Structure 1
Amino acid sequence: MIDLNADLGEGFGPWRLGDDLALLSIVTSANVACGFHAGDPLIMRRTCAGAVERGVTIGAQVSYRDLAGFGRREMDVAPDELTAEVLYQLAALDGIARAEGGRVRYVKPHGALYNRIVRDPVQAEAVAAAVRAYDPALPMLTLPGSVLHQVSGVTVVNEGFADRAYNPDGTLVSRREPGAVIEDEHRVAARATRMAVDGTVEAVDGTEVRVDPRSICVHGDTPGAVALARAVRTMLEHADIRLGPFA
């Protein structure tokens, strides 16, 4: 079974980013923004309600406190401060999810924080400490080579990215680089299917990278995200891969 996740609830106030309701009809897990890089209480509530209504699992998409940069600017945050900020986001979203009849089932760091804790053991431990303090049973999504795998007391789940380019070492190509985001529907769907079937993805230099994902992400802010997600789901199902939440 493979989980299909997307980043949702990433609007702010009157501004909307992506079609959350359409994506909630396609994915099996929703990484809901918790207000630090995007989202606000009303958007969080509406997104959680939509997920519960459609049987989609809710995850907390925690991030640096960086609304202006959409959480994509790397920050040097003191470990105790980072732990507190992740705990704050996780508790807020879980409270809203519970009010709508659901609950947070996993944690996925967003943007720069996601990439930072792949290689930074100090920040990885700080994020994990927040999860342990709130609910140590909550699994965390990360890359297979992440140092988060070495942190004790947390469950780690491998994630693959259908619409992002990979470096040969298994990390994601920076969004500042051309070709970092893949927008072709067939290519994105084929990459997701290869990840699910073979556990591998082709890096930018043509080498094969092992990812062995339990969950595959299609970003909600990628141009044509709904069509991309639908193409991914369709090709996975045609490959006789069963879709369902990992958490």
Structure 2
Amino acid sequence: MKLNCDMGESFGAWQMGNDHAVMPWIDQANIACGFHASDPDVMAQTVKWAIARQVEIGAHPGYDDKIGFGRRSIPHALDSITRLVAYQAGALDAICQLHNTHISYIKPHGALYNDMMANDGIFEAIVAAVAGLNPHRAIKLKLMILAQPDNTHYQKIAERYEVDLLLEAFADRAYDDTGSLVPRSNPEAVYHDATKIKQQVIELAEGRVITLSGKTLILHADSVCVHGDNDESIATIAALHKVLNP
């Protein structure tokens, strides 16, 4: 199982995260594309760090909402969602081409990610964007989505477009009994204890997760998302890397 991290979310003088320190410990970098965060210079620097550490690069598009950091849903026509995602992924891929590399997957950000998992129309619109970018690529883009106990519904939609899915779990988020993430409005939604986070990643690597109520769910994930905003969290990510790469 791989580790992925949302990165490149600084913007001008506004600094977010500690990407340079996190990069050695992850396998996949989800790089913001300029709408919810980032700018061309930040994108380029993050790409260079990823190349130096041989980290796979993914586009991390969101709603056009820097003030709300992409965590607010913004109504769009479904065709506009497709263009929104393609536009941002194309921008990051162009930066990658300047550095002789490419993006390999797309992971929506924040409210767009949540809306994708809750609304079939939005999910299909995003799948259509991935599919539309694929015909002339030697290595096809994949779409990263939330791993759930049963992903059959999403897989059937993606298969119609010949798009492969990457299933993602979260190291520091609580799960409810349906296999969904507990909303951030719940004070127990985000784990901060390094021991708890490490235990959840061990369980995820074994194909299961313990919900907030104590129920065990079968959950198969290709990658687990981590967050590196401070020295303590970076130390935790390093520890997780060692657990998954003994």
Under a length normalisation based on structure 2, what TM-score does the superposition of the two structures give? 0.91
Q: CA deviation at 1:223?
A: 8.0
Q: 2:235 aligns with which of 211, 227, 234?
A: 227
- Check conservation: 1:29, 1:58, Cα contact below 8 A: yes
Partner of 2:52: 53
Residues in 1 aligned to 2:190 and 2:236: alpha-carbon distance in whole angstroms? 12
Partner of 2:39: 40
Partner SS state of residue 104, structure 1: coil
Residues in 1 aligned to 2:229 and 2:67: alpha-carbon distance in whole angstroms? 16
Q: Which consecutive segments of 4 or more residues in structure 1 shift more than 6 A?
A: none
Matches within 5 A, 1:152-191: 152-153=160-161, 154-191=163-200
Residues in 1 aligned to 2:171 and 2:109: alpha-carbon distance in whole angstroms? 16
Deviations 1:155-213 (A, max 9, x none): 112111011111111111111210211111121111111111x2011111111122211
Residues in 2 aligned to 1:67 and 1:87: alpha-carbon distance in whole angstroms? 18
Change (3 A) 1:115 1:164: same
Partner of 2:144: 141
Partner SS state of residue 150, structure 1: helix
Q: Give the % identical residues.
A: 39
User: Runs of 5+ in structure 2 lacking a partner?
Assistant: none
Residues in 2 aligned to 1:63 and 1:195: alpha-carbon distance in whole angstroms? 26
- Check conservation: 1:35, 1:89, Cα contact below 8 A: yes
The AA in structure 2 aligned to 1:107 is: I
The AA in structure 2 aligned to 1:178 is: P
Partner SS state of residue 104, structure 2: strand
The AA in structure 2 aligned to 1:138 is: L
Q: RCO greater where, 1 or 2, for CA within 8 Å and sep 6 or more?
A: 1
Aligned residues: 236
Query: Is 1:210 the equivalent of 2:218?
Result: yes
Q: Larger deviation: 148-157 or 59-68?
A: 148-157
User: Runs of 5+ in structure 1 lacking a partner?
Assistant: 239-247
Under a length normalisation based on structure 1, what TM-score does the superposition of the two structures give? 0.91
Partner of 1:243: none
Query: Is 1:73 the equivalent of 2:72?
Result: yes
Residues in 2 aligned to 1:207 and 1:199: alpha-carbon distance in whole angstroms? 14
- Check conservation: 1:186, 1:231, Cα contact below 8 A: no
